[in-house]
């Protein structure tokens, strides 16, 4: 039986171990430009089998929080090149998480102070982060407007373009963010999608945009460098679906032939309970659907894992376990897990925004 600390292949990516750093927004990229501090932060964590970057906006419209990075524009791309080369010099592997927030944004963050865009004009009852006098401040999201049918090809194009930029920046691949109530998840789920055209209504229609994005990116950079993140039942950012099992079984069957490097599943409520009484879900059945349909991508799991839970998941057939908060506080998490050493506790006060404190100053074992 493989252990967490053995190598694994995920599409074209050969990973030194089965531990991934989950994507973690840290709001430390003014003007959406990755900084030298970010290069240090990721390099410190390069012993992970795979680093998944913080969510990164594919376009200015896809932006929904203060000081998150982008994957468009020369300065943004130059900033990311410094990150990828530093990580590679340390022997790490790094993919970038491609993000369009959809309705989880604020007019202050949108080009021309426009309304955020969404499948339907339904406001998300959730907060975003603005900077007020330099201080990160949680603020209600703005009322979105429904995207016109004619705008959707442009959004698919933005994803494709961002994937091309990712490879030009030296990333080993991309992770499509289709989780946590952002644009693709909004299209997928009934709670945010009341469209009556080809992108709303039936499961097939609601899955259409996500599948178009995946296919465009696979066409652009190859499936072996493409992963996808999904959160079937998370309530994050005010999202819900009336029949998630059927929805995700359909989606995974469609993804199976596309040759993805990995499928990344958040089990339960992101950062919260792994089991939700009012939102039951059978993850083993989902995986079985994917494998039965020929899906060969690595199966990555996430949410509230510790060493014991991760060992059990790998024993049960998971290929990769992603850790989020533990990686914030433990740059040498892989070594600590291997030695069963105690973990540093993350400081929530420095999660979103700020400088080096609570970012690159967590101590290592040695």
Ligand X SMILES: Cc1cc2nc3c(=O)[nH]c(=O)nc-3n(C[C@H](O)[C@H](O)[C@H](O)COP(=O)(O)O)c2cc1C
| Total of chain residues touching ligand X, rule CB under 6 A | 23
**CB 16, CB 44: distance < 8 Å:** no
Please name which of 344, 356, 333 lies closest in space to residue 26, comparing C-alpha atoms.
356
The CA-based diameter of the chain, rounded to the nearest angstrom, is 58
Rule CB under 6 A: say whether 223 interacts with ligand X: no
Applying CB under 6 A, the span of 131-139, 158-166, 239-247, 300-308 interacting with ligand X comes to 300-308
CB nearer ligand X, residue 207 or residue 304: 304
Options 55, 96, 129, 209; binder of ligand X; rule CB under 6 A: 55
Does residue 351 interact with ligand X by CB under 6 A? yes
Rounded to 10 degrees, the C-alpha dihedral 33/36/39/40 comes to: -150
Q: Does 270 bind ligand X (CB under 6 A)?
A: yes
Please enumerate in sequence order all residues whose Cβ is within 8 A of that of 136, keeping only pairs 6 or more positions apart, or say none. Answer: 27, 66, 67, 129, 130, 352, 353, 354
Please tell me whether residue 324 binds ligand X under the rule CB under 6 A: yes
Pick the catalytic residue from 182, 199, 290, 359: 182
Strand partners, 228: 176, 263
Residue 266 in the binding site for ligand X (CB under 6 A):
yes
Told to judge if 182 belongs to the known catalytic residues of this protein, a careful annotator would answer yes
Name the 3-class secondary structure at 12: coil
Task: Kindly state whether residue 325 participates in binding ligand X, applying the rule CB under 6 A.
Answer: yes
Cβ distance to ligand X smaller for residue 17 or 302: 302
Q: What is the C-alpha to C-alpha distance for residues 19 and 99, in angstroms, rounded to an integer? A: 22
DSSP SS3 for 99 = strand
Residue of closest CB approach to ligand X = 324
Q: Is 271 in the site for ligand X (CB under 6 A)?
A: yes
Question: Where do contacts with ligand X occur on this chain (CB under 6 A)?
Answer: 22-25, 54-55, 97, 177, 179-180, 229, 266, 270-271, 302-305, 323-326, 351
Q: Which residues are catalytic?
A: 182
């Amino acid at each position: 039986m493989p252990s967490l600390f053995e190598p694994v292949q995920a599409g074209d990516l050969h990973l030194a171990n089965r531990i991934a750093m989950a994507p973690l927004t840290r709001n430390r990229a003014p003007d959406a430009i990755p900084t030298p501090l970010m290069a240090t932060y990721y390099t410190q964590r390069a012993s992970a089998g795979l680093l998944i970057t913080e969510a990164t906006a594919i376009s200015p419209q896809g932006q929904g929080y203060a000081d998150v990075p982008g994957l468009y524009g020369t300065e943004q791309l130059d900033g990311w090149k410094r990150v990828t080369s530093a990580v590679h010099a340390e022997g790490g592997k790094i993919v970038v998480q491609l993000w369009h927030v959809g309705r989880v944004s604020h007019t202050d963050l949108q080009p021309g102070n426009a309304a955020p865009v969404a499948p339907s004009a339904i406001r998300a009852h959730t907060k975003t982060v603005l900077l007020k006098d330099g201080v990160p401040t949680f603020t209600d999201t703005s009322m979105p407007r429904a995207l016109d049918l004619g705008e959707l090809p442009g959004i698919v194009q933005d994803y494709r373009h961002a994937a091309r930029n990712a490879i030009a920046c030296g990333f080993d691949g991309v992770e499509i963010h289709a989780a946590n109530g952002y644009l693709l998840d909004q299209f997928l789920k009934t709670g945010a999608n009341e469209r009556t055209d080809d992108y709303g209504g039936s499961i097939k229609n609601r899955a259409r945009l996500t599948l178009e994005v995946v296919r465009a990116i696979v066409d652009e950079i190859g499936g072996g460098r493409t992963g996808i993140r999904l959160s079937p039942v998370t309530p994050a950012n005010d999202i819900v679906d009336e029949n998630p099992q059927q929805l995700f079984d359909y989606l995974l069957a469609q993804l199976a032939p596309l040759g993805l490097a990995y499928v990344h599943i958040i089990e339960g409520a992101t950062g919260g309970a792994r089991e939700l009484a009012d939102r039951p879900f059978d993850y083993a059945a989902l995986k079985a659907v994917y494998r039965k349909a020929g899906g060969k991508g690595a199966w990555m799991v996430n949410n509230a894992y510790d060493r014991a839970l991760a060992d059990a998941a790998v024993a049960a057939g998971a290929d990769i376990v992603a850790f989020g908060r533990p990686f914030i506080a433990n740059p040498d998490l892989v070594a600590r897990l291997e030695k069963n050493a105690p973990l540093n506790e993350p400081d929530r006060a420095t999660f979103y925004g700020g400088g080096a404190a609570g970012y690159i100053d967590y101590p290592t074992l040695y």
